[in-house]
Amino acid sequence: MIDIHCHILPSLDDGASHMTESVEMAREAVKQGITTIVATPHHLNGSFENDKTTILNKVIELNERLAKEGIDLTILPGQECRIIGELVAEYNKGSILTANDKGKYIFIELPSNSVPLYTEKLLFDLQLNGLIPVIVHPERNAEFISNPDKLYQLVKKGACTQITASSLVGKFGKNIKKFTHNLIEANLTHFIASDAHNIKTRSFFLAEAYEEIEAKYGKSIRYMFMENAELLVEGETIYKEAPERVKKKKLFGIF
Ligand code: FE
C-alpha cells in the first residue's frame, strides 16, 4: 500500500518534530500495511518553507535511518505547496518538487476556508506547463463544502483531487465524512492518502479507509484508488471517471 501524502520527514513542518517521531510514524505505517510513503512537507503556507533540495536531502536521511532500524518502508520525495499566484514561476525557479520528483503531479493546498479567485487560471497554467495539479483534502475546504460545483468545475478542467483517510473514517466529524463520500460518489476524487502528522492526534487510518471503501463501493473502486497511487508515484496517467455534480439532496445531511 502506498501513502502519497504524509508529514513524516523530521523537523521540517508541523509533522514529525524529530527523527525519533519519524521512526515511530514509520513503524505505525508498516503496521497498517504501508510499504511506500511520499513525504510531503508544507511549502509556502505562511509558516513553513521547504524547497525541493531541502526535501530531497531529508528523504535520503530518513531512508538511511529506516534501513538502520530494519524498518521495511520506502520514503519518496514530495511536497505540499500552498496555492500562490507565482506558483508557475516558483516551479520554473526550481523550488517546487513534484510527486516522487517525476515532473508530473503537483500537490496543491488551498486555504481551509476559501478558494482563491485565481485558482482556476493557475491550475490551467500548471497544466500548460505539463503538470497535473492534485488538490489535497478538498473535503475540508469550507467553500467546496458549501459550493461543491466549484470543485466540479476544477476537476472537469483537468485537476485531480486527494481525499484524506481520516476524513473518510469520520475523524473530522460526520459532516466531513459525508462530504468525503459525496466526492467519491460524484467521481470528484482520484486519490486517498493519510496526511498523517503524528501517531497521536493525526495518524494514518489508511487501512481502515480502504476497508470502508471496499465495503461501501466494492473491490474495483478500492483497487482503482490503490492503483492511482502507484501510477502517481511513477508519473503515469491515472484512472478517471467523468466527474458529476454532487447532488443537492445529498448535501442536506451536511448542515
Ligand atoms: Fe498535509
Residues 223-246: tens digit of each pLDDT: 999 999 999 999 999 999 999 999
Q: Is 161 helix (H, G, I), strand (E, B) or coil?
A: strand
Look up residue 122 and give its three cell numbers.
Answer: 493557475
Q: Are strands 74-77 and 42-43 parallel, antiparallel or unpaired?
A: unpaired
Q: Is 80 helix (H, G, I), strand (E, B) or coil?
A: strand
Instruction: Give the Å distance between the CA of 164 and the centre of ligand 1.
Output: 9
Helix 174-185 to helix 148-156 angle, to the nearest 10 degrees? 30
Instruction: Give the Å distance between the CA of 42 and the centre of ligand 1.
Output: 7
Q: Output the DSSP codes for 168-217.
A: HTTTT-HHHHHHHHHHHHTT---EEE--B--SSSS---HHHHHHHHHHHH
| Homologous superfamily in CATH for domain 2-251 | Metal-dependent hydrolases (3.20.20.140)
Instruction: Give the Å distance between the CA of 249 and the centre of ligand 1.
Output: 30
Count of helices and strands (H, E) across the chain: 11, 9
Which one-letter amino acid corresponds to residue 144?
F
Instruction: Give the Å distance between the CA of 108 and the centre of ligand 1.
Output: 10
pTM: 0.96
* Distances, alpha carbon 123 to alpha carbons 66, 138, 159, in Å: 36, 14, 7
Question: Taking CA 3 as the corner, what is the angle to CA 105 and CA 231, rounded to the nearest 5 degrees?
Answer: 45
Instruction: Give the Å distance between the CA of 75 and the centre of ligand 1.
Output: 16
The domains of the chain are located at 2-251
Dist CA 115 CA 109 (whole Å): 10
Instruction: Give the Å distance between the CA of 13 and the centre of ligand 1.
Output: 10
Dist CA 45 CA 168 (whole Å): 24
* Distances, alpha carbon 1 to alpha carbons 34, 47, 69, 113, in Å: 5, 31, 20, 31
Instruction: Give the Å distance between the CA of 6 and the centre of ligand 1.
Output: 6
Instruction: Give the Å distance between the CA of 34 and the centre of ligand 1.
Output: 17
Dist CA 244 CA 94 (whole Å): 35
Residue pLDDT tens, the chain, 255 long? 999 999 999 999 999 999 999 999 999 999 999 999 999 999 999 999 999 999 999 999 999 999 999 999 999 999 999 999 999 999 999 999 999 999 999 999 999 999 999 999 999 999 999 999 999 999 999 999 999 999 999 999 999 999 999 999 999 999 999 999 999 999 999 999 999 999 999 999 999 999 999 999 999 999 999 999 999 999 999 999 999 999 866 555 555
Instruction: Give the Å distance between the CA of 184 and the centre of ligand 1.
Output: 20
